[in-house]
Structures are given as C-alpha cells and as structure tokens.
A = this chain, B = another copy of it.
Amino acid sequence: MVRKPTSRETARKPNMREAILAAAEELFATNGFNAVSVRDIAQAAGANPGSVTYHFKTKDGLLLEIYRRHCGPMNLRRSELLAAAKRVRDLQDRLEAIVRAYVVPAFTSGSDLAGGGARFTRLRAVMSAEGNEVARKIIAQTFDDTSHAFIDAIHESLPHIPRTDIVWRSHFLLGALYYSLVTPDRVSRLSRGEADGSDAAGAIEQLVQATVAAFQAPALDQAAPARRRPVASSKT
C-alpha cells in the first residue's frame, strides 16, 4: 500500500457530502433560502435529512460551507485576471480587460467546481435580495476587498472620472450581472427568441461591452448641470 488518506476522504457512496452541497446550492439559488427545507435538499441529494445535520450541523452552517467552498477560488481567479489586465498597455483595452476579469469568474467555474461559477453567483444574488444575514457577513468580509481592488484599477485607467461615479457604475455592473443570472429567460422572451439569456458567452460579451461604455461616460458633476433635464415631472 502506498498511502491511504486517513479514511476521511472516502465515503461509502460517491461523496454524499458533496451531493448535499450541490443540491443545496442549486435549490437555494433558484428558490431562496427560506423556501427550501432541509428535507428538500436531502431528497434532491438522495440523502437522509439527518445526514445534513451530521455534515453541516445547521441549515445556516450548510449555507456557510457553500460560501467557503467558492469564495476562495473565485477571488483567487479574479486576482489573477486582474493582475494580468493591469499589465495591458492600451488604456481602452485595459479597461475592457479589467471589466472582463471581474465578470468572467462570476459566470464560469471557480476552479474544480464544475460549472459552479454561475450557480454560486446566482446564489449570491438571491441571498443579497433576501437580506440573508449569514451571506451579508461573509460578503462584507470577503468581497469588499476584491471590489475595492477593481474599483481602484478602473479608476487608474479612468483618472478623470470621480471615484464616486466609478463606485456607482461598478455597483450597476454587479446588479446587471446578478440579474442576468437570476432571470435569463426574460432576455429570451423580450428579444422574441433572437437572444438566448442562458448563453453565458453571449451574456458576458454584451455585459462587458455595455459596461465599458458606461464607465467611459462623462463624469456626473460636469455633465448634469450643463444639460437641462429633458423630461419634466408630470405632476410636481
């Protein structure tokens, strides 16, 4: 015998723990946290409800473990792509590369998790909408650093735009990103079948193209007061 991992890695069935995690991820991402019961998850994973308690103690613990599983690889990937993007010479190209470095890992697999990128991002979107406490804590801890790094990088390639505007626009980017993963069918519907909202590559290209243009818009301070507001309020 060469070496046996302390019998920790080997489960009777092909890793029931992973099956539960995957099922929970899928169900939480599509239905929200409170709409999914532990029994739903167990059934979807082909496991016993008690098995969920054994592996993750509580339902919150299960959600926490999902975040732990993805956050590391995703942020690592983003850092790598961001570092590469910052080395791009041409300013216009660099901005696009930075935006792409932010968007791509959210749509595609984090690392060895198969196709889990989009699913996890959608999960984050739903948890954010529900104001989930567990998610809120993790996000503030884990993602704010990454967000700041991207904002700074974008600001460097657009020095004439105030940082405040960049924050707003990157916020819009994240919102658009989230919404694209939450309701891809709406794109298919509104385009009358001409576009496929579920096509990750297409969504990425559209999102990158639109976002780069949004970042390059003139700053608000200098643009807003110079123009009259074209639409008057109907009442006030």
Using a CB–CB cutoff of 8 Å, the interface residues on chain A facing chain B are 30-35, 77, 80-81, 84-85, 88, 90, 93-94, 96-97, 100-101, 104, 125-126, 128-131, 140, 144, 147-148, 151, 163-165, 167-180, 182-183, 186-187, 189-191, 194-195, 197, 203, 205-207, 209-218, 220, 223-224, 227, 229-234
Contact = CB atoms under 8 A, between A and B. Distances in A.
Given A190-B144, A231-B84, A231-B85, A171 B167 contact: no
A116 to B, nearest CB: 15
Contacts of A148: 190
Given A34-B34, A97-B230, A231-B97, A210 B172 contact: yes
Interface centre among A97, A163, A183, A189 (most CB of B within 10 A): A183
Contact of A210 (B130, B168, B179, B231): B168
Nearest to A166: B191
A193 to B, nearest CB: 10
A195 B30 CA distance: 32
Nearest to A175: B179
Contacts of A229: 100
Contacts of A175: 175-180, 182
A157 to B, nearest CB: 12
Give the number of times this chain occurs in the complex, counting copies: 2
B88 A182 contact: no
Nearest to A197: B171
A180 B77 CA distance: 26
A173 B112 CA distance: 32
A171 to B, nearest CB: 5
A210 B177 CA distance: 15
Contact of A205 (B90, B170, B214, B224): B224
Contact of A220 (B33, B147, B205): B205
Contact of A211 (B88, B147, B214): B214
Contacts of A209: 165, 217-218, 220, 223-224
8 contacts: A170-B190, A171-B187, A174-B179, A175-B177, A178-B179, A206-B220, A209-B220, A213-B217
